[in-house]
Structure 1
Amino acid sequence: MAKNKPATLPKFNSTAELVDFFDTHDMGDYLEQMPEVDFEIKIKRRKHLIALEEDVVTKVTRIAKAKKVSSEALINTWLKEKLQQVS
């Protein structure tokens, strides 16, 4: 029994042609002909600064140290818990 020859990937003149082609063809049939690529993705979390009263910061810092977590992690956890309660 003869092996099926892999489908030959045609040349495309534009990205639109490539997209149209794969709208009707299975990309898996052409994987061996595609070049391997290597790239990095850097996902940055956005940070927001919120003013807190000094006594609140003092208490949060004390509790965070006792729990051996950062103040930021503790506040994020508390806010997520509170948001779940009110949602």
Structure 2
Amino acid sequence: MPKKPKQIPEEFKTYEEAAEFWNTHDSTDYLDVLEEIEMKVDIKKRHFLIEVDMDTVELLQKSARKKGVSISRLANEIIQKQLVEANQ
């Protein structure tokens, strides 16, 4: 008899937590509880690589975890805020 899959958490605290769950679970085991959605994707979005020292990365990771957001999102928000303030 097949093993019953673990229940999907009601909500994930971070993207990393969701990634960990789905990296260790097969989505095809959940077809009866998943629902189809329509989603728009901005494929014009560009990604840029910047060098950041390890101390800064560690601070970003800690802050992002506390806020429940990705490191990229937090870094983008901080950079945007600083640039707006610098240009006022």
Q: Normalised by the size of structure 2, how large is the TM-score?
A: 0.49
- Bigger RCO of structures 1 and 2 (CA < 8 A, at least 6 apart): 2
| Greater helix content | 1
Q: Which has the larger radius of gyration?
A: 1
Q: Normalised by the size of structure 1, how large is the TM-score?
A: 0.50
